[in-house]
Homo-oligomer: A and B are copies of this chain.
Amino acid sequence: MRKGIIYYHVGESLESYFLIKSVTKGVASNGKPFLTIILSDHTGEIEAKLWSCSPEDEATFVSKSIVHIIGDVSEYRGKNQLKIKSIRPTTALDHVKVADFVRSAPLDPEEMLSQINQFIFDISNANIQRITRHLVKKHEKMFLESPAATKNHHEFVSGLAYHVVSMLELAKSIAALYPSLDTDLLYAGVILHDLGKVRELSGPIDTSYTIEGKLLGHISIIVTEIVETANELGIESEEVLLLQHLVLSHHSKGEWGSPKAPLIREAEILHMIDNIDAKMNMMDRALERVQPGEFSERVRALDNRSFYKPSFHEKPLDV
């Protein structure tokens, strides 16, 4: 695999393919237009400037296209920047595809779907099982592609499904230790809790919030779909209410976005499992390139903490 862009140091030259994540046009102090291009590969991104660009350049180098670039890595205001020596659009002959340039979950979507379906199969309460299965089916394609967030944690292709699979494993081992937990409710809660993100987020690449995402949020979206599904399946029972409650309360507090605090055991545990998986993902990301005996960068979503890697832990791989 090619050396990822985040592994280049200031002063190095490179010749490589990149996916254009976004492009902004500016006018330089000499009055000429230029493009600020965010280039990305499977490891991360870098900013590049294309000075004195022509109208053709503007039309060619657009978001989500793949380009071939020769350039040098320099530094501007403390961040790496790519000085472009040559840039060209790619064709079929380059044999490159978008999927090669995005970060994605370490598991295959089909594999994750199969694991999730196994958990659904293990739900013994028929009402809970049918509603959960129906909603997963309904959103299957997007569910397998969507990130779990625009930033912070699991913000990559298939991040949502990967987050759910990890949480299901956690749920299973915790429930094994506390027999009072109802695994039917807990598994369904895990599978449905963030499913509204398939409508809240714009999709796997250059993810942003949709209008309904901003005005309603993923919690309200899926709460309503649970009721619609129950209506459709002719289910009228307390399970419908409890599934709604599990989703509604999974952020735990009003100030974190949940209009109701968890009022059943499984809702409280769902919140904590969600937290553990998100935090492990963020801490692992923060520490992955840190040397033993050193501190990571600050992580805003974790109270701006900077994490320490013990001096007797292993060194990171330098790809």
Chain A residues at the B interface, C-beta cutoff of 8 Å: 10-11, 25-29, 31, 33, 72, 74-76, 83, 125, 166, 169-170, 173-174, 176-178, 180-182, 185, 211-212, 214-217, 219-220, 223-224, 227-228, 231, 238-239, 241-242, 244-245, 248, 253-265, 268-269, 272, 275-276, 279-280, 283-284, 287, 293, 295, 303, 305-313
Q: Is there an interface contact between B215 and A305, defined as CB atoms closer than 8 Å?
A: no
Q: Taking the full assembly, how many copies of this chain does it contain?
A: 6
Q: Is there an interface contact between A29 and B248, defined as CB atoms closer than 8 Å?
A: no
Which residues of the partner chain B approach A212 to less than 8 Å between Cβ atoms? 241
Q: Is there an interface contact between B245 and A29, defined as CB atoms closer than 8 Å?
A: no
Distance between Cα atoms of A285 and B24 in the complex (Å): 26
Given A177-B170, A238-B312, A280-B178, A263 and B215 touching (CB < 8 A)?
A: yes
Q: Is there an interface contact between B265 and A244, defined as CB atoms closer than 8 Å?
A: no
Instruction: State which of B239, B248, B254 has its C-beta within 8 Å of the C-beta of A254.
Output: B254
In the A-B complex, the 10 residue pairs with the closest CB atoms = A173-B173, A27-B74, A215-B245, A254-B254, A254-B255, A224-B224, A255-B255, A27-B75, A224-B227, A259-B259
Extra pairs beyond A253-B255, A264-B307 (14, CB < 8 Å): A29-B74, A29-B83, A180-B284, A182-B310, A185-B310, A214-B260, A215-B260, A220-B248, A227-B228, A228-B231, A261-B305, A263-B295, A269-B280, A272-B276
Given A215-B245, A245-B215, A265 and B287 touching (CB < 8 A)?
A: yes
Instruction: State which of B220, B228, B257 has its C-beta within 8 Å of the C-beta of A228.
Output: B228
Residue among A242, A260, A305 with the most chain B CB within 10 A? Answer: A260
Q: Is there an interface contact between B223 and A244, defined as CB atoms closer than 8 Å?
A: no
Distance between Cα atoms of A292 and B110 in the complex (Å): 39
Which residues of the partner chain B approach A264 to less than 8 Å between Cβ atoms? 307-310
Given A177-B170, A241-B215, A244-B215, A76 and B29 touching (CB < 8 A)?
A: yes
Which residues of the partner chain B approach A26 to less than 8 Å between Cβ atoms? 10, 75-76
Q: Is there an interface contact between B308 and A214, defined as CB atoms closer than 8 Å?
A: yes
Residue among A181, A259, A284 with the most chain B CB within 10 A? Answer: A259
* Closest partner residue, chain B, to A10 (CB atom): B27
Distance between Cα atoms of A257 and B33 in the complex (Å): 48
Distance between Cα atoms of A70 and B174 in the complex (Å): 45
* Closest partner residue, chain B, to A74 (CB atom): B27
Distance between Cα atoms of A204 and B11 in the complex (Å): 34
Distance between Cα atoms of A181 and B85 in the complex (Å): 44
Q: Is there an interface contact between B238 and A306, defined as CB atoms closer than 8 Å?
A: no
Which residues of the partner chain B approach A224 to less than 8 Å between Cβ atoms? 223-224, 227
- With both chains docked as a complex, state the minimum distance between the C-beta of A259 and any C-beta of chain B, in angstroms: 5
Which residues of the partner chain B approach A261 to less than 8 Å between Cβ atoms? 303, 305
Which residues of the partner chain B approach A284 to less than 8 Å between Cβ atoms? 178, 180, 265
Which residues of the partner chain B approach A253 to less than 8 Å between Cβ atoms? 254-255
Q: Is there an interface contact between A268 and B263, defined as CB atoms closer than 8 Å?
A: no
Which residues of the partner chain B approach A176 to less than 8 Å between Cβ atoms? 173
Which residues of the partner chain B approach A279 to less than 8 Å between Cβ atoms? 268, 272
Which residues of the partner chain B approach A283 to less than 8 Å between Cβ atoms? 180, 265, 268
